[in-house]
Structure 1
Amino acid sequence: MAMISEHPSLSARTLLDRRATGIEPFLERYTANFAFYGSGKAALYDGLAGLVTPGENVLVPAYLPDAVVEPFRDLGLEPRYYRVRETLAPDRADLAERLDDETAAVVTVDYFGFPQPELEAVASLLADRDCYHVDDNAHAPLSVDDGTLLGTRGHLGVTSLRKLLPIPDGAVLYCNDDSVAARLEPLSFAGVRDRFGVDDCRYVLESLAGDLLGTNATVRRAVERLVAERAVSVPDPKARYEAAKTPMSRLSAAVVAAADPTAIRRARRTNYLAWRRCFDSRSGVEAYHETLPEGICPQVFPLRTGSPQRLVAALERCGVAAHTWPRLAATVRDDPAYAVARRLARETVVLPVHQGVDPIAIEAVDDRLRRRATTASRSAPRRSVPRERRR
């Protein structure tokens, strides 16, 4: 059984589609001031470097991965977390309370490829404040809401191409305000590398190996056992951030130029809707969004459940790479004031919708989940009826 992997795989077809228009012309339809980087966090550092002063603070939503604040710390800013609501909208009262004269910027997030809920209210709150608005659109490079590209609704914004394409790195910095664009002085890690390197070759080989593991269950299980037997160290957030301070790789640039935005968005929307049909009538789960608005290119299919580990295990048995999201910052994990963010992080499960997924495979997963549920129901022990009620 082939795996429905977390990310699309790199193949010869990725670079040979002559019908593709590329990502850059797509971006140019919506904004003029943008630049490529190796990572979104490095891009954010570069964008803010000429705008902020060490000792100031930046407000970010509590429902975010722990590594997001690394560029702020690097700039000498104090990250402060504001509360979010169940809808992923900012808790405006909490946000307003945390704003002060030393707030340099406020970050909002377009979660899972959808527009930040209630963004207008946040913009209104910030209108009279002397601080910058960062539109964090890491999840959705191709999402357009009512004619506006997500990521371009603040003074500056970022998006991650690596979350969209089978590439080793890649991000975009948007300078949406003329004064911000004028003060940008790109550092050495801006732009694209001028040649292919060893890392590019390594990524191609790893992608080919990943394809083999995805199609050959025997090999995959053997590798999983080998990995389980050896301790694998994961770099801490700061180390990952520092390592990503490089220009976008030449391989990434080639894939970005060969990509077809229309086909990618169509495929992701089709797969998102296939998952929606799969879970529409299933008890114990709740999708985040009731509809899929025109122009939205979802990053994943997110849902909430009170039994996340059970759902992840069931999906893994069906060949789906699903997981909870995200790993919160320790500040948030340890503070009861962020109860909503902590609950969301426990209950949210994300499923792949990328362009490498065949919607027929999602339908097959739906079939297997239903069969398993029916089998479990039939095999469950029946409760005996007390003797006095058997009449």
Structure 2
Amino acid sequence: MTTVGQTLPLAEAPSAGYPESHVPVTPVLSLASFGRGGERIPSVLDAGAARLVTSGRVAIALALREMGIGPGDAVLVPSYHCASMIEPVVWAGARPVFYRIRPDTSVDLIDVAAKLDADCKVLMATNYYGFPQDLVALRAFCDARGIALLEDCAHCFLGQHKGKPVGSYGDYAIASSMKFFPMYEGGVLVSARHSLAGVHLQPAGKGFEAKAAINTLEDSFAYGRLFVVRALLALPLWLKDVLWGRLKGRKESAPSLAPGSSDGGFGFDPRWLDKRSSLCSRLLLRLVSRPRMGALRRRNYLKLQAALHGLPGCRPLFATLPDGVCPWIFPLLVDRPQPLFRTLKMQGVPILRFGEYPWPGVDASVCPASADLSQRVLSFPCHQELREAELDWMISQIKDALLQRSATAP
């Protein structure tokens, strides 16, 4: 197996001096997180046997290991991707083969078929932004050619396709629970077709457990949630910061207490391959209301869609929100995106740009649609922990910036 670390040849996102987001980019814990409400939406955990790990990229690596992927093998991966989807393939010693997607993010099976060779053992297919691929067609394609299907549900922990939970169609499926739940770390490996008895996980240590719980709380405090808890923990957390600052100064080479994925870092660290998710994250996975999550994510998505409908120079990437889809974020396809991106970031509006930094060599010559989407799609949070006032403020900032840009355009 190849070690893949922080030195991967990837472009790093420029900080550009942007201020902190005024509203939470990802879900943050609040008392409302445990409230009930809404109809039950199936989740990837309903698809089959599951193992709770620390990140989606770890789950990909475990899935490849379970499928026996190694040196000499090739894995078909989408040209529209983030580095964490490719790093486990390289770690396994396999060769990533990049296939095209269409402008609506659907898999171009004609291109996939053209790139199949004797080395190709797995097709990785991503349900972008929470919208499932044509999973029935992908399953039939793989079965007809004797290759495995790895269903990437990192964007769709909740949802269903043709009456079955997301994650049900792949030989293995992976998910990223920290994109949907108010937790610091978390990923899932699932299989509806194979036993996971060979996947043995162990605790990552007391330091990791403490860090996962503390960071979950501190992320919540940063956005004005759990005020009473914050007041009660003010002194212990201050002492923690002082102590940690001193320890860090003495042990700069000490291994991290948590995976880099939890802090948005690049790289795949195989030390986390056999580590289970923290107790804090596992409890939140059980206790946080999924019906509420599904209902509010859909409501917030539709509110964004209605508010931005018809504004100049943009359109939603997906025209409708089908039943059974629980979105990760709201993707907006924008003409001339970079000036708008800078304007909104300077105002503290949270923006995510999936696929902005593709794997080296993957450009418009490999897939024009991927190159276009990676630059033109600006995505905004629609998660269940957004307060009404936060969502309204964000919408107002986006609308004002789009209208101002239109008014000053030559």
Residue equivalent to 1:169: 185
Aligned length: 354
* Cα offset, 1:119, TM superposition: 3.6
Residue equivalent to 1:157: 173
Q: Given the superposition, is the C-alpha separation of residues 295 and 241 from structure 1 closer, same or farther in structure 2, using an over 3 Å criterion?
A: farther
Determine if the alignment matches structure 1 residue 97 to structure 2 residue 114: yes
Q: Do the aligned partners of 2:311 and 2:399 also contact (CA within 8 Å) in 1?
A: no
Residue equivalent to 2:316: 287
- Per-residue CA shift, 1:140-193, capped at 9, x if unaligned? 11112332111221111111110001111112211121xx326x511335x898
* Cα offset, 1:45, TM superposition: 2.0
Residue equivalent to 2:242: none
* Cα offset, 1:2, TM superposition: 8.5
Q: Given the superposition, is the C-alpha separation of residues 127 and 368 from structure 1 closer, same or farther in structure 2, using an over 3 Å criterion?
A: closer
Residue equivalent to 1:187: 200
Determine if the alignment matches structure 1 residue 349 to structure 2 residue 378: yes
Aligned equivalents of 1:373, 1:327: Cα separation in 2: 21
Determine if the alignment matches structure 1 residue 65 to structure 2 residue 65: no
Amino acid at match of 2:174: V
Q: Do the aligned partners of 2:53 and 2:186 also contact (CA within 8 Å) in 1?
A: yes
Residue equivalent to 1:301: 330
* Cα offset, 1:35, TM superposition: 2.1
SS at match of 2:307: helix
SS at match of 1:273: helix
Task: Give the fraction of aligned pairs with identical amino acids, expressed as a percent.
Answer: 22
Q: Do the aligned partners of 1:5 and 1:321 also contact (CA within 8 Å) in 2?
A: yes
Alignment partner for residue 79 of structure 1, among 89, 96, 107?
96
Bigger drift between 60-69 and 27-36 goes to: 27-36
Residue equivalent to 2:155: 139
TM-score, with length taken from structure 1: 0.79
Aligned equivalents of 2:290, 2:394: Cα separation in 1: 27
Equivalent residue runs for 1:1-391 within 5 Å: 3-12=22-31, 14=33, 17=34, 19=36, 27=43, 30-54=46-70, 55-116=72-133, 118-177=134-193, 180-181=194-195, 184-188=197-201, 197-204=209-216, 206-208=218-220, 210-211=222-223, 237-239=266-268, 242=271, 246-316=275-345, 319-334=348-363, 336-370=365-399
Residue equivalent to 1:389: none
Aligned equivalents of 1:371, 1:59: Cα separation in 2: 42
Q: Do the aligned partners of 2:340 and 2:401 also contact (CA within 8 Å) in 1?
A: no
* Cα offset, 1:205, TM superposition: 5.2
* Cα offset, 1:249, TM superposition: 0.7
Q: Given the superposition, is the C-alpha separation of residues 365 and 168 from structure 1 closer, same or farther in structure 2, using an over 3 Å criterion?
A: closer
Amino acid at match of 1:181: S
Instruction: Give unpaired runs (5+ residues) of structure 2.
Output: 1-19, 228-259
Amino acid at match of 1:123: R
Aligned equivalents of 1:119, 1:376: Cα separation in 2: 39
Q: Do the aligned partners of 2:343 and 2:401 also contact (CA within 8 Å) in 1?
A: no
Instruction: Give unpaired runs (5+ residues) of structure 1.
Output: 216-232, 384-391
Aligned equivalents of 2:402, 2:216: Cα separation in 1: 39
* Cα offset, 1:210, TM superposition: 2.4
SS at match of 1:281: coil
* Cα offset, 1:294, TM superposition: 1.5
Q: Given the superposition, is the C-alpha separation of residues 352 and 324 from structure 1 closer, same or farther in structure 2, using an over 3 Å criterion?
A: same
Aligned equivalents of 1:256, 1:19: Cα separation in 2: 14
Q: Do the aligned partners of 2:151 and 2:167 also contact (CA within 8 Å) in 1?
A: yes
Aligned equivalents of 2:172, 2:316: Cα separation in 1: 30
Q: Do the aligned partners of 1:3 and 1:319 also contact (CA within 8 Å) in 2?
A: yes
Q: Do the aligned partners of 1:82 and 1:91 also contact (CA within 8 Å) in 2?
A: yes
* Cα offset, 1:122, TM superposition: 3.0
Amino acid at match of 2:323: E
Bigger drift between 356-365 and 143-152 goes to: 356-365
Q: C-alpha root-mean-square deviation of aligned residues, in Å?
A: 3.4
TM-score, with length taken from structure 2: 0.76
* Cα offset, 1:324, TM superposition: 2.2
Q: Do the aligned partners of 1:36 and 1:248 also contact (CA within 8 Å) in 2?
A: yes
Please identify the structure whose Cα radius of gyration is greater.
1
